[in-house]
Amino acid sequence: MPVSRSGLAVLRTEVAVRSHYRWHNRPSPDHSVHEMYSKRIHAAWFGIHFFLITAVCLAGVFWLIAQGSTILPSACNEYAQKAELGATWCLGKEAGASNPVRRGIATYLHAAGIQAGYSFFAPNVPSQHRLTLELLYEDGRVEYESPHVRGKTAALRLESLLDRLAEQRYEPVREVLVKMLAFSVWREHPDVKKVRATFGTVHLPSITEFEHGKAETLQPMFSFDFSLRDDQKQ
């Protein structure tokens, strides 16, 4: 089919425009390199992020097995404990408290909200903890108190703090926190000579044991003695 001169001119103009558009809109070498590196960075971050999620979840699962909270035989407890140490090592928890790698991983885990797995929820609700303060007076009297809170919100925060105390392995941190709680009670009993703070796990009886009249038991984990009068003088 013959093409007129005007049609041929229009066709040539359209081809030239398309070539010019493709030439000026093609990706530059620098842009391609930048995009490639960006994809690699995103892929690396994705891998690290989900590696940490996996390590957190495995640490929680192995801890449950090591504590005998599953239907697995007790022979698996020792292996689960070793596996838990491996998972916590990946999270930097076996390093020193001032280790920058440990701090960096902990900061990222808390910022991303992945610092804890789902072992907290049923059917593995954590044990209840209790802090008992034994108040010793000059005349030999002994009274027992618990940290006082105001309102349901403060009570929930105290329960969370007690759970953290059970997990805290650094002894000086435990001592400082327990001392602060003991001091809040001592202010209401200024004539107390010494306070003995005992922290333990509360074991609730089963339904059958409860029907037979068995009450809850407290298994002590650690205790501190504070002479708050001496501290006040200092």
pLDDT confidence of residue 126: 57
Amino acid at 115: Q
Three-state DSSP class for residue 195: strand
pLDDT confidence of residue 33: 72
pLDDT confidence of residue 47: 92
pLDDT confidence of residue 156: 77
On whether both 94 and 172 belong to a single domain, the answer is no
pLDDT bracket for residue 123 (50, 70, 90) = low
On whether both 120 and 160 belong to a single domain, the answer is no
On whether both 9 and 79 belong to a single domain, the answer is yes
Token couple for 221 = 């984990």
Query: If you average pLDDT over residues 211-221, what whole number do you get?
Result: 81
pLDDT bracket for residue 13 (50, 70, 90) = low
Domain end position, chosen among 69, 104, 125: 125
Instruction: Starting at the earlier edge strand, list the strands of the sheet with 217-226.
Output: 142-145, 128-137, 192-203, 217-226
On whether both 158 and 83 belong to a single domain, the answer is no
Domain range for residue 55? 1-125
On whether both 51 and 108 belong to a single domain, the answer is yes
**Dihedral sign of CA atoms 43, 47, 53, 56 in order:** negative
Q: What is the chain's mean pLDDT, rounded?
A: 77
CA 207 to chain centre: 32
- pTM, 2 dp: 0.49
Structural domains counted in the chain = 2
